[in-house]
Amino acid sequence: MSTTEPLILPLSTDWRVAMGLGAASVLENALSFHHIYGFPYIPGQSFKGAIRSFVINMYFGSESDALQNVMFCTLFGSDDKGVTKERAGELIFFDVYPSTAPKIEMDILNPHYPDYYRDKNPKPPGDYYSPVPVNFLTVKATTYNFIVVLPKDGDNEFDDKIWGVTTKRKLVNEWIGKALSIFGIGAKTAVGYGRFSKIN
């Protein structure tokens, strides 16, 4: 596949990002560190997954409906259940690296009633339980470069019944901005982690 100029979108963390909490680590909870360079990064598959999930939820409601849209399958790829059958997606999502010195900060999760949630016949939650602090690393006040390589026709206009007249570049740029400011990426997005904003 021949490509065009990549889309490079610098975005800054709104608050904290917790990426890779579930991975194996010498710490109790992990943070995704690059295995060669050692800085915190966002794996390309997580980046693609966040954008794909956003598009499905915002425009289609279900993956099965999304797989019946030709443009969705063309850009993200599909399995044999998709309208385009099995195919690779045209978009190439790179690992996301910081463009400013990352600021790593310790955060805490503090379950107050662990036995109540863990035991089968627990005592009701109350002051007699002891909190169990769990520390984990986060990244804050850092700018990252989100890079997507587009196909050669990425700047050509097309007409789609969902997105209207646009280009693949404009569409992907819009998706990334909205997905990372509304949904976020990584762990604990439901409580405000993982959000990014465009730099003015």
Q: Residue 38's pLDDT band (boundaries 50, 70, 90)? A: very high
**Are 66 and 60 contacting, i.e. CB atoms less than 8 angstroms apart?**
yes
What is the number of other CB atoms lying within 10 angstroms of the CB of residue 71? 19
DSSP 122-168: PPPP-TTSPP--EEEEEEES-EEEEEEEPBTTTTSEEEETTTEEEEH
Measured CA to CA, the distance from residue 58 to residue 56 in angstroms comes to: 6
What does DSSP say about strands 87-88 and 16-17: parallel, antiparallel, or unpaired? unpaired
Q: What is the model's pTM? A: 0.91
In this structure, what token pair is assigned to residue 166? 């646009």
Residue 180 clears pLDDT 70, i.e. is over it:
yes
Residue 116 clears pLDDT 90, i.e. is over it:
no
Q: Residue 111's pLDDT band (boundaries 50, 70, 90)? A: confident
Q: Residue 75's pLDDT band (boundaries 50, 70, 90)? A: very high
Helix (H) / strand (E) containing 70: helix 70-76
Computed over every residue of the chain, the mean pLDDT equals 93
Measured CA to CA, the distance from residue 111 to residue 91 in angstroms comes to: 41
Alpha-carbon distances of 107 from 25, 56, 63, rounded to whole Å? 16, 31, 34
Residue 50 clears pLDDT 80, i.e. is over it:
yes
- Least confident range from 108-112, 113-117, 184-188: namely 113-117
Q: What is the pLDDT of residue 28?
A: 65
In this structure, what token pair is assigned to residue 135? 């520390």
Residue 77: what are its φ and ψ, rounded to 5°? 90, 165
Q: Residue 27's pLDDT band (boundaries 50, 70, 90)? A: low
* Helix 44-55 vs helix 168-178: crossing angle, to nearest 10: 100
pLDDT in tens, 137-176: 999 999 999 999 999 999 999 998 999 999 999 999 999 9
DSSP 13-27: ESSEEB--TTS--SS
In this structure, what token pair is assigned to residue 24? 């194996």
Q: What is the pLDDT of residue 132?
A: 86
Domain map (residue ranges) of the chain: 7-100+138-189
